């Protein structure tokens, strides 16, 4: 069945780059998403990538997609304490639903 | 500004009670979703709806039912709450685009339900 996997925790120092990784199983996914959840809040869309792209850059965020390995990553440059949150990757499957990973809790230390 | 609201941020209920969680969106979205979020498990889909009066089971529908009488409102019902339903419940909505196209889901703030 469809599955999306992420590591649960990542800790970085302020100013460093953060890289959050995700693997998925459905090769027919059309879009892949990164959502951010701040403490006590719902999820907000951070960025997305269409499956025919390899890379997408948006200010401090870089998304890399390796379709062959079904691997997605989110890089946050110059990580700030305000970036501390849980980050979810999700794939958009043929049934029109989103399949979410477990979420990676990013902790940014000053 | 798009908005999905949920009736309560925190809720405490007793085992066996009937529980209603309400979700309202003001974006005229066709699709609405209920998820539960548990540490280490991510978001799991309980039920979703592509249209008024229409519902489909997600991955974990057991112990839950839903109601969608109006386009803007999607209710999650726990017929007889149990302690293993203690969780964070998130509602989301999206446009009813073709199933293979980009379709961002907008989330409410969540309801943290505790069943004692």
Report pLDDT digits (tens) over B41-86: 889 999 999 989 999 999 999 999 999 999 999 999 999 999 999 9
B60 touches chain A (CB under 8 A): no
Of B100, B105, B109, which is closest to A98 when you measure between CB atoms?
Answer: B105
Percent of chain B with pLDDT over 70: 93
Q: What are phi and psi of B83, to 5 degrees?
A: -60, -30
**Cα–Cα–Cα angle for A37, A38, A41, nearest 5°?**
80
Cβ A95–B40 below 8 Å, yes or no?
A: no
The 3-state DSSP class for residue A41 equals coil
pLDDT category of residue B97 using cuts at 50, 70 and 90: low
* B96: confidence class by pLDDT, cuts 50, 70, 90: confident
pLDDT tens-digit series, residues A9-26: 999 999 999 999 999 987
CB contact at 8 A, B48 and B64 = no
> What is the full DSSP assignment across B24-60?
EESS--SEEEEEEEETTTEEEEEEEESSTT--EE-S-
Show the tokens assigned to A14: 């302020």
Residue with tokens 């997600």: B58
Q: Which residues of B touch A8 (CB under 8 A)?
A: 40
B23 contacts chain A (CB < 8 A): no
Burial class from Cβ neighbours inside 10 Å (0-12, 13-18, 19+) for residue A81 reads: exposed
A46: pLDDT confidence band, cut at 50, 70 and 90? very high
Which of A29-43, A46-60, B96-110 is predicted with the least confidence, judged by mean pLDDT? B96-110
* Residues 6+ away with beta carbon under 8 Å from A86: A36, A37, A103, A104, A105, A106
Encoding tokens for residue B111?
């309801």
The burial class, CB within 10 Å (0-12 / 13-18 / 19+), for A5 is middle
Contact assignment for A44 to B99 by CB distance below 8 Å: no
Higher-pLDDT residue of A51, B87: B87
> B6-26, pLDDT tens digit by residue?
999 999 999 999 999 999 999
pLDDT at B39: 87
């Amino acid at each position: 069945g469809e599955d999306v996997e992420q590591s649960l925790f990542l800790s970085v120092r302020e100013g460093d780059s953060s890289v959050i990784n995700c693997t998925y199983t459905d090769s027919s996914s059309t879009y892949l998403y990164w959502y951010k959840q701040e403490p006590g809040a719902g999820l907000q869309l951070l960025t997305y990538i269409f499956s025919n792209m390899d890379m997408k850059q948006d200010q401090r965020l870089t998304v890399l997609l390796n379709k062959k390995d079904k691997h997605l990553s989110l890089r946050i440059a110059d990580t700030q304490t305000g970036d501390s949150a849980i980050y979810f990757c999700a794939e958009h499957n043929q049934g029109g639903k989103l399949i979410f990973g477990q979420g990676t809790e990013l902790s940014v230390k000053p | 500004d798009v908005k999905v609201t949920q009736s309560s941020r925190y809720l405490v209920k007793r085992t066996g009670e009937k529980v209603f969680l309400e979700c309202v969106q003001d974006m005229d979205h066709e699709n609405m979703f209920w998820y539960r979020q548990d540490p280490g498990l991510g978001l799991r889909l309980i039920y979703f709806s592509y249209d008024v009066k229409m519902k489909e089971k997600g991955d974990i529908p057991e112990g839950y039912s839903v109601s969608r009488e109006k386009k803007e409102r999607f209710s999650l019902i726990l017929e007889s709450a149990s302690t293993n339903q203690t969780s964070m419940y998130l509602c989301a909505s999206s446009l009813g685009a073709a199933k293979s196209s980009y379709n961002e889901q907008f989330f409410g703030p969540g309801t943290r339900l505790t069943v004692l």
